[in-house]
């Protein structure tokens, strides 16, 4: 596979995942509490966006953080297997893609 495509795969997947989890912010209340609820629901989105920015040149960081997020989320939502599959599986896939991109880049550089 083309190294450029491998480099872009984790970034595109992470951006799509971030957009996906931002959809959950639509589940906010009404009235005065709406803005605080919206902020609370957007915190995971903001965190993922920060990780994408930090891992842009450091694929290993994206692999480690998304793997840690998967492990934490799988542990936290263990009673809800469908949640782990729907939200956790993409995090695991993204961690693998970042790891793959990191290995390919290390081989091409050195």
Residue % of the chain over a pLDDT of 70: 95
103 has pLDDT over 70: yes
The domain containing residue 69 runs over which residues?
A: 3-109
110 has pLDDT over 70: no
The total of structural domains in the chain comes to 1
Residue % of the chain over a pLDDT of 90: 71
For 29-62, give one letter per residue: b (16+ CB within 10 A) or e: eeeeeeeebeeebbebbeebbebbeebeeebeeb
What number is the average pLDDT over the span 42-59?
94
**Average pLDDT of the residues of the chain:** 91
């Amino acid at each position: 596979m083309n190294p450029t495509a491998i480099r872009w795969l984790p970034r595109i997947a992470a951006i799509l995942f971030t957009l996906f989890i931002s959809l959950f912010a639509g589940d906010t209340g009404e009235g005065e509490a709406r803005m605080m609820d919206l902020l609370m629901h957007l915190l995971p989105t903001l965190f993922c966006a920060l990780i994408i920015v930090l891992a842009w040149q450091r694929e290993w960081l994206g692999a480690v953080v998304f793997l840690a997020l998967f492990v934490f989320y799988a542990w936290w939502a263990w009673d809800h297997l469908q949640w782990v599959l729907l939200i956790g599986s993409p995090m695991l896939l993204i961690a693998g893609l970042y790891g793959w991109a990191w290995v390919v880049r290390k081989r091409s550089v050195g």
